[in-house]
Structure 1
Amino acid sequence: MLGLQIFLLLSCMCGFAVSKTHNFDWEIGYVTANPDGMHERRMIGINNQWPNPTIRVKQHDRIILNLHNGLPDRNASLHFHGLLQRGFNGEDGPEMVTQCPVGPGSTITYDFNVGGQTGTYWYHSHSGSQYGDGLRGMIIIEYADKKDEPYSYDEDVSLSVNDHYHLESPAIVKQFLSRFNPTGAEPIPQNSLFNETKNVTWNVKPDTTYLLRIVNMGLFVSQYLQIENHKFVIVEIDGVAVQPYEVDSIYITVGQRYAALVKTKSQSGTNYRFINALDVEMLDVVPEDLQLVSTNYLVYDEGASKPEHYPYYDFEKFTESLHGFNDFDLTPLSGEKLLPEPDITIEVNFSMEVLGDGVTYALFNDKSYVPPKVPILYTVLSSGELTTNPEIYGSNTNTFVLQGNETVELILNNHDPGKHAFHLHGHNFQVISRSPGTDDEDHPVEFDPSNDTMTDYPEYPMIRDTVEVNSNGYFVLRFKANNPGVWFFHCHVDWHLEQGLALVLVEAPEEIQAHQQHISANHVEVCKNVSVPIQGNAAANMDFLDLMGQNLQQPPLPEGFTAKGYIAMALCTLVAVYGIWSIYKYGIEDVSKDNSVEVIERLSRILDEHDGER
């Protein structure tokens, strides 16, 4: 018996020996860069460098990351996208959900274990659309024992794609969330990036298998990827290993990740195009100078010429070469079956509406997400027996309370002509039903549980953490509530998150209270530095049922006003402003100084006479 105990002890010690602690000291600040070669601007770098570093660790490793906000004018935060943060909910990163904003000059420490996850992930700011200004990078989690990898390859290569804006995000948001943008049209990017630049050359060796890890770190637009005369064999989506699936091209939304095997030719003196293209269907307008199709190069022979750049603007010609790929067809390598019938069903209808200030907002069931005055996790920890009451989390946080180990079904009906990529923190989910898109805005397709074609669920559904809903369509997700915490579910088109397209899942709050119990001293200090309270309900009241003073969405439009009415009013306003300018330009501006004095004196006499008559 003693020998067995010694053996078990040594086994545990060996297990601890293989895991490592990785320490990172990062200061974020502005770095001047020219990512697309067309416009120099400030980007948010780390330790005075940009692009930002990749975090590469192994299963069960610990990360201790000290993030110092060296930005003089902005708050910051960091989210580890796709990491489940099991037991580490307070390290998840979205401000006013699980932590306070990190103010200028503050340092926050993220301390967590990555657990048993493997695969391709990324980190990014979760403070508005800030990651579009550069605060982003890749995370790779390797198998603790390489022999456990379910696929073989020779080399590991990372690739990020982005949409890119020349203006900084605060300036873009100011223009976007404005009564002068009554349709809510998303900001159009000025370019796309491929590994944070353009026209990249990837030197490859013949007869070699590469594992290509791909992340779309953009704010808005999905992208197509294609390598001429080569195939992708998809083996992982959002960190989840899948049955190998061969495709000619990959369609990747913002927030999604793919790992694909690329086998090079046995011998070749030819070089090939590696194309990334913006999904033009997502753009309300296409500026003449927007390069929809970008060309990079797979180079076998540096001495051989490269093929000509694919036509920048010929998206239709490019799509003719695509053979279609539906991620719904991907099945998990684990063989995980469809989860049982749900214990709780959450159904939300998504729409875009103009509210009383003339700005277009995104709403779930007529409610636009507005951050509370206390981070929601901190409300859980301070609310005692009321923690299971969803009302304490605010009227505009779209919060749902889940019990531990429930099977949850989330139905989303999209009443919008756009495509949207939705991401769930803290969970991977099964995608069990999804409709194709439709252009018929008057008749969006809603999920109907009594419709047999809509409920013909796959036996082994696709599993991931970021999924696209098609225009005027729906999807149905299922997952197990086995990770106590406060988890954000939101559109990863970050312009839509800015408009309020989010909800919150408070999962097993009593278990959160039992296991977390307190906030780290460092995180308390971060809150103190930005004067955000760490106790109370959504209104920061200690009487948890008193929501007086909470943050609320804008009131509805005045009766009789419509979105079209606001468009007309905006156009009329612009015409009026132009008219006033014209009067000044072609009238008053031409009046000489002497004449202007004479006019003023004459007006004064008229006013004096008028006063005398009164």
Structure 2
Amino acid sequence: MWRLGLSLLAAMVLLFFGYSTAKTVTYDFNVTWVTANPDGLTERKVIGVNNQWPLPIIEVEKGDQLVVNMHNGLGDKNASIHFHGMYQNGTNEMDGPIMVTQCPIPPGADFVYNFTVNQNGTYWYHCHADYCYPDGYRQALIVHDTESYFYDQYEEEFTVTMSDWYHELVEGIAPDFLSVYNPTGAEPIPQAFLFNDTLNSNIMVKPNTTYLIRLINIGAFVAQYFYIEDHTFTIVEIDGIYTEPTEADTLYLAIAQRYAILLTTKNTTDKNYPIVTVADSALLDGIPSDLKLNQTNWLQYNADADHPQAVMTVDDATQLNPFDDITLIPHDRMPLLPEPDYTLELSVNMENLGNGAGYALLNNISYTAAKVPTIFSVMSSGDLSTNSLVYGEFTHPLVLEHNDVVQVILNNNDGGSHPFHLHGHAFQVIDRAPAYGATFYDYADGDPVPYDEANHTAFPQYPARRDTFVLPPQGYFVIRFVADNPGVWMFHCHIDWHLSQGLGLLFIEAPTQMQERLNIPQNHYDVCKAGGIPTEGNAAANTEDYLDLKGQNKQVGWLPAGFTARGIVALVFSCVSAVVGIIFLVVYGLSDLKFKGEGADGAAETSEVAGKGAGKTTVAEASRESSNEEIK
């Protein structure tokens, strides 16, 4: 009995100690436009916080309450914050994607994000509104953990972000990307690649010392390789999941992926060593002559020593041999989940739809947001919340039962890779083909190879877990997770261009439990009211009949049979050229009549008008304007 009493006392002490050390960490964010020139080539507008850019790193400890008071001071753009990798267990309304778990925060409005951080590791935050975070609205979020198994093995830690960078605002790039003039869906090529939002920087280190380095790809499009010349390191975390210590020398970080590594420095100060990041050029449709794919920053042992440029030892980055993340074993050795209760098989396709532009589809659905944020449809639909029809056809909603084991088979019919992210969960990665390294892009030139349930390699006993995983070109991956977190969770490609094309879907997880457990703050409803967005009804905002989707937002319709991307462009330009030609003939004919009727003065006037027109509108511009009017 006395032992039981001591145990209870100890438990109470630990519980009290845990509560007493947890704290509330508050950040006040006034999101504003500022100017920056991170690559030294072009000054441009970027989205800053409190009139500063780069944005502040959010730092908390496991168990803390994180509060971010956000004011949208942009003036001309909606915004939000997604805390990437945060499970938001019990606080689905704080997840951040607009028209999914909240309304867009309109200019001038305030919004409060408030949740408990019950996990640890390396994360980041970014805007989750349309075409937003590539303009600079992204930064690291670090959850420190004094109880990690490697906490006493390092002296100091650093955070390294890598990103692609555009010289033009995304709102200026986007119309030409999702356009009939870009039928292949070629992604806009960045103008630079940044390292901690700058170039040519140093990480200062001491000899014979171990450091924890957190690596995050906060870009919008391009994956990057990472290595340090003449150094190896030990992987201890991926996407917030501690791993068994595993030695490596090269990593591949797709958009949104994170690693934490332990690096022990050499016992010398004679040299400084290049930290090398290399853009994955296989993702680019072309490589401009002025685009520098390989960046050198330095592990600086001695400020007075030489800072050499990296020398690539291979002709192409795809020849690098990065560590294969699927082989990592979680430190907690969580076993393979049991056979799934629910299996979802999906195929990725990139297609031209009826307006001639290129779109992305999962099982022939291009994600299109509803008229009511889906979380509000759950909360207002009563007993119908378990009926997927409530959430619309084109949000691609999939209703999951509470605590189901879910298996997702994702087949890629596209020749490009796609880093898929699941909100609200980390998932087990149980199969993938092909592997990283030289074979990773081999499938791109052949036929797609889908997953075969009857013929696959044995699943690992302790599968790697993460929240963002790369779908190989024309290959596949298989993941599993437990639907133990009631909420509306996006599953989408994290290349921002692909998400804008519709490459995503929604898991409506345990909607009955959502209704019982969620308590959405009044502030969230106020923001919806300020933006004129309804907070009740189905996907079509119908509150009378939740199964009537008349008026729902729809994806662009299908092309008529027989049309191809090349045919679309040929047809458009043929039609436009014909129209321009007719207009030219009419104008020329009328001007000739005017000349004959008015004499030399009329000729001079006509010549002046024609000269102004020629300086104002080229054939290409006229073609574009004519086509845009037709699309509208």
**What percent identity do the matched residue pairs reach?**
47
What pairs up with 1:67-78 in 2 under 5 angstroms?
67-78=70-81
Q: 1:371 to 1:304 in 2, by over 3 A?
A: same
**Aligned equivalent of 2:517:** 515
Separation (CA, whole Å) in 2 of partners of 1:148 and 1:103: 43
Say which SS state the counterpart of residue 246 (structure 1) adopts.
strand
Does 2:602 match 1:597? yes
Q: Does 1:414 align with 2:416?
A: no
Counterparts in 2 of 1:196 and 1:255: CA distance versus 1, 3 Å: same
The question of whether the paired residues in 2 share the 8 Å contact of 1:438 and 1:472 is answered with no
The Cα of 1:172 is off from its aligned counterpart by 1.1
How far does residue 325 in structure 1 lie from its aligned partner after superposition?
A: 2.1
Match of 1:66 among 51, 66, 69: 69
Q: Which deviates more from structure 2 when the two are superposed, residues 291-300 or residues 253-262?
A: 291-300
Letter in 2 for 1:471: P
Report the alpha carbon displacement of residue 14 of structure 1 after superposing the two structures with TM. Answer: 2.0
CA shift digits 1:315-343 (9 cap, x unpaired):
726666x3342111111111111111100
SS of residue matched to 2:480: strand
**CA 1:18–1:183 in structure 2 vs 1: closer, same or farther (change >3 Å)?**
same
Give the deviation of 1:476 after TM superposition. Answer: 0.4
Amino acid at match of 1:461: P
- Listed as ranges, the matches of 1:215-614 within 5 Å are 215-308=216-309, 310=311, 316=315, 322-436=320-434, 437-439=441-443, 443-451=447-455, 454-516=456-518, 518-542=519-543, 543-570=545-572, 572=574, 597=602
Q: Deviations over 1:325-371 (max 9, x none)?
A: 21111111111111111000011111011111111111111110000
Q: 2:628 maps to which residue?
A: none
8 Å Cα contact 1:128-1:497 kept in structure 2: no
CA distance in 2, matches of 1:234, 1:310: 24
The whole-number CA distance in structure 2 between the counterparts of 1:589 and 1:32 is: 49
What SS class does the counterpart of residue 93 from structure 1 fall into? Answer: coil
Q: 1:28 to 1:581 in 2, by over 3 A?
A: farther
Give unmatched runs, 5+ long, in structure 1: 602-614
C-alpha distance 390-319 of structure 1, shift in aligned 2 (>3 A)? closer
- TM-superposed CA distance for 1:579, in Å, is 7.4
Residues 450 and 39 of structure 1: is their aligned pair in 2 closer, same or farther, counting only changes over 3 Å? same
Q: How does 1:158-177 map to 2 (within 5 A)?
A: 158-177=159-178
TM-score for both structures, normalised by structure 2: 0.89
* Residue 195 (1) aligns with residue 196 (2): yes
The change in CA–CA distance for 1:150 and 1:582 in structure 2 (over 3 A counts) is farther
Scaled by the length of structure 1, the TM-score of the pair is 0.91
CA–CA distance in 1 between the matches of 2:429 and 2:304?
A: 47
**CA offset digits 1:443-479 (Å, max 9, x no partner):** 201111011xx24211111100000011111110001
The structure-2 alpha-carbon separation of the partners of 1:508 and 1:583, relative to structure 1 and needing over 3 Å to count, comes to same
C-alpha separation between the residues in 1 aligned to 2:198 and 2:422? 29
Query: What whole-Å deviation, never above 9, does each CA across 1:228-286 have from its counterpart, x for those lacking one?
Result: 10112111000101111211211100000000111110113111111111000000111
1:67-106 residue pairs with structure 2 within 5 A? 67-106=70-109
| Equivalent residue letter for 2:448 | P
Q: Which amino acid aligns with 2:426?
A: N
Question: 1:402-450: CA deviations, max 9, x gaps?
Answer: 0011100001111100011000000000111101144456620111101
Task: Report Cα offsets for 1:139-174 as digits up to 9, x if no partner.
Answer: 11111x447546611110000000000011111111
Tell me if structure 1 keeps the 8 A contact 2:443–2:475.
Answer: no
The answer on whether the counterparts of 2:229 and 2:273 sit within 8 Å (CA) in structure 1 is yes
C-alpha distance in structure 2 between counterparts of 1:302 and 1:589, whole Å: 73
The aligned length equals: 593
Distance 1:600 1:535, change over 3 A: same
Partner of 2:616: none
**Contact persistence 1:373–1:551 (CA under 8 A):** yes
Rate the CA distance shift 1:582–1:24 in 2: closer, same or farther, 3 A.
same
Secondary structure of the structure 1 residue equivalent to 2:345: strand
CA distance in 2, matches of 1:510, 1:527: 23
Aligned amino acid, residue 103 of structure 1 = P
Map 1:14-33 onto structure 2 (within 5 A): 14-33=17-36
**CA distance, structure 1, for counterparts of residue 326 and residue 310 of structure 2:** 32
Q: Is the 8 A contact 2:281 2:317 kept in 1?
A: no
For residues 116-127 of structure 1, what are the structure 2 equivalents within 5 Å?
117-127=119-129
- The amino acid across from 1:597 in the alignment is G
Cα distance in 2 between the residues matched to 1:147 and 1:507: 30
SS of 1:291's equivalent in the other structure is coil
Q: Could you tell me which amino acid in structure 1 is paired with residue 117 of structure 2?
A: V
**What is the CA deviation profile of residues 165-190 of structure 1, one whole-angstrom value per residue up to 9, with x for unaligned ones?**
00111111111011100111001000
TM-superposed deviation, 1:308? 3.5
Secondary structure of the 1:183 match is coil
2 CA distance for matches of 1:420 and 1:586?
52
The answer for unaligned runs of 5 or more in structure 2 is: 435-440, 607-632
| Structure 1 counterpart SS, 2:315 | helix
The residue that corresponds to 1:604 in the other structure is none
- Alpha-carbon shift at residue 515 of structure 1 (Å): 1.0
Contact 2:489 2:508 in 1 (8 A): yes
Classify 1:529/1:228 alpha carbon distance in 2 versus 1 (closer, same or farther; 3 Å).
Answer: same
Q: Which of 32, 36, 40 is matched with 2:43 structurally? A: 40
| Matched-pair contact (CA < 8 Å) for 1:280–1:315 | no
Please give the alpha-carbon distance, in whole angstroms, between the structure 2 residues aligned to 1:156 and 1:274.
16
Q: 1:569 to 1:482 in 2, by over 3 A?
A: same
Instruction: In structure 1, give the amino acid aligned to 2:390.
Output: I
Deviation string 1:532-570 (CA, Å, 9 cap, x unpaired) is 111100001011011111000111112332223113335
| Structure 1 residues 337 and 596, CA gap change in structure 2 (3 angstroms) | farther
Letter in 2 for 1:352: M
| Amino acid in structure 1 at the alignment position of 2:335 | K
Q: How many Å separate the matches in 1 of 2:187 and 2:495?
A: 9
Provide the rounded CA distance (Å) in 1 between the counterparts of 2:583 and 2:289. 29
**Separation of aligned partners in 1, 2:106 and 2:471:** 35
Partner amino acid, structure 2, of 1:551: N
Distance 1:459 1:16 in 2: 36
Going from structure 1 to structure 2, the CA distance change for 1:599 and 1:534 (only over 3 Å counts) comes to same
CA pair 54-440 structure 1, distance change in 2 beyond 3 A: closer
Q: Distance in 2 between matches of 1:306 and 1:571?
A: 52
With over 3 angstroms needed to count, the CA separation of the structure-2 counterparts of 1:420 and 1:589, relative to structure 1, is farther
Structure 2 CA distance for partners of 1:597 and 1:525, relative to 1, 3 Å? same
- Residue 385 of structure 2 aligns to a residue whose secondary structure is helix
Is the CA contact (8 Å cut-off) linking 1:373 and 1:532 kept in structure 2? yes
Aligned residues of 1:406 and 1:480 also touching (Cα < 8 A): yes
Distance in 2 separating the partners of 1:400 and 1:362:
18
Relative distance call for 1:455 and 1:439 in structure 2 (3 A) is: closer
Separation (CA, whole Å) in 1 of partners of 2:563 and 2:354:
9
CA distance change for structure 1 residues 275 and 257 in 2, over 3 Å: closer, same or farther? Answer: same
Q: Which residue of 2 aligns with 1:609?
A: none
Structure 1 Cα separation of the partners of residues 464 and 407 of structure 2: 15
